[in-house]
Structure 1
């Protein structure tokens, strides 16, 4: 930090297992990735190349190397995994992970239907190759899971080998753990937290109001995902109580 302030909430230092910020790269150029790292690299923990953008991203290997040199793990979005699975190309997907020297991958079923036992088997197989992050929840606004089902699915995926489970919200933040208005399904989140350790969950929270809600609920070191590159510095100030939205939460005035 550039100067000292008393009584700030303590942030876990990198590399960290909680207090993670997952950044959504939806198509940054190599130069933009370098600029992003210069500004927000110290506050970022892992980069997701959103959905299947890696398929059409120019200079993909160059960009991956830029992130690696900055010690920022990077992975392909779960929709790419689903695109391979729906075409019966699981072995090809595994070869792609090796080809691009990926150390993480995302297993999701937000766009297609996969029997959960089969999804967990994919997690088991991939966890022998890379660190798996799995995603629970659908991108279809019409599919609303009961809390007990979220808990059951998350537990099974952790047991199958997932390092973290992502609570689905899309990059727009209006499905899954949120209503279509973007409002948090508070009862759902509360129920999930009765059974799943909060440090194991990455809550997708692309909107500022959602980030504020989770920081107030779980503190500065809550895991948050789908954060836009331009929102990284603003988010870190929210975590530290240095923006009006969380200012009163961390200090007695």
Structure 2
């Protein structure tokens, strides 16, 4: 279990509404798509279109957003990329590029060109991050505003660094700046909140009180990075759901983690600890 600097304690405590499953066992209900809470973002490391089509066919009802990760969108054949975006669009799954591209575009002075191409290809959302970029909050706001006002993108801000750590006050100021500039949602960089076995629970609680959990989306640590295992990633997922509730927004789930994440959201993933999960329907949840 990751250690937390105090627990937010904002998870659901009342028994949830139930739905009948195909097997006849009752489970907690979830808001259907299009959802405004309990969002799941899948990270796409270049899934081949036919493979992706199968993933979308089976798990599509639980995927709200898909990010073509890193710099993959710029390396992929355009026709393949167009096919992938079409498949997501037809499944009512919002698409965005990896935030790395905006950072590179800023450094190269090509932000407008990047946005033009993302719009032409059919992305409906843009991630604006500064994981590896040093710039002012005012410059970040200008890019967010441009993406939204000039190109009509749904802007996904991101707060946090992959190298170094922001103070609590810096995180809050960055969130303020993103929302003031028009970001629809803001990703919370996993490195900032889940480092090793430590969770910045006090900061998470402050964010929940000030901005509301429906406006932020927690990035889960990705397993390609040093020191991150699938087991740790799942423990972080379970902690977020248990402490913040079924409808916490989650990002960076791999295609084969969608189902276990959904089971975890509903408290039917192998333990009874989720106070708003399946076992609470019988009076046994939250242990």
Fold conserved between structures, TM > 0.5: yes
Q: Which residue of 2 aligns with 1:124?
A: 145
Q: Which residue of 2 aligns with 1:45?
A: 64
Q: Which residue of 2 aligns with 1:172?
A: none
Match of 1:178 among 194, 203, 210: 194
Change (3 A) 1:245 1:13: same
Q: Which residue of 1 aligns with 2:23?
A: 3
Normalising by the residue count of structure 2, what TM-score does the alignment of the two structures yield? Answer: 0.81
Q: Which residue of 2 aligns with 1:211?
A: 237
Cα distance in structure 1, aligned partners of 2:87 and 2:274: 38
Match of 1:243 among 269, 273, 276: 269
- Offset of residue 155 of structure 1: 1.5
**CA deviations over 1:162-186 (Å, ceiling 9, x no partner):** 00000001xxxxx11111x153222
Change (3 A) 1:225 1:248: closer
- Offset of residue 29 of structure 1: 0.7
Verify the 8 A CA contact 2:241 2:274 in the aligned structure 1: no
Q: Which has the higher contact order (CA 8 A, sep 6+)?
A: 2
- RMSD over aligned Cα, in angstroms? 1.5
Cα distance in structure 2, aligned partners of 1:87 and 1:248: 47
After superposition, residues 70-81 of structure 1 pair within 5 angstroms as 70-81=91-102
Q: Which runs of 5+ in 2 are unaligned?
A: 1-20, 222-232
Verify the 8 A CA contact 2:96 2:125 in the aligned structure 1: yes
Task: Say which one has the larger Rg.
Answer: 2
- Offset of residue 110 of structure 1: 0.5
Q: Which residue of 1 aligns with 2:249?
A: 223
1:232 maps to 2:277: no
Q: Secondary structure of the residue that 1:231 maps to in structure 2?
A: helix
1:96 maps to 2:96: no
Q: Secondary structure of the residue that 1:162 maps to in structure 2?
A: coil
Q: Which runs of 5+ in 1 are unaligned?
A: 170-174
- Offset of residue 247 of structure 1: 5.4
Cα distance in structure 1, aligned partners of 2:274 and 2:115: 48
Match of 2:87 among 45, 66, 80: 66
Match of 1:136 among 132, 148, 159: 159
Cα distance in structure 1, aligned partners of 2:272 and 2:106: 42
Q: Which residue of 1 aligns with 2:76?
A: 57
Verify the 8 A CA contact 2:34 2:92 in the aligned structure 1: no
1:168 maps to 2:194: no
Q: Which residue of 2 aligns with 1:191?
A: 206
- Offset of residue 9 of structure 1: 3.0
Cα distance in structure 2, aligned partners of 1:13 and 1:151: 31
Cα distance in structure 1, aligned partners of 2:76 and 2:143: 26
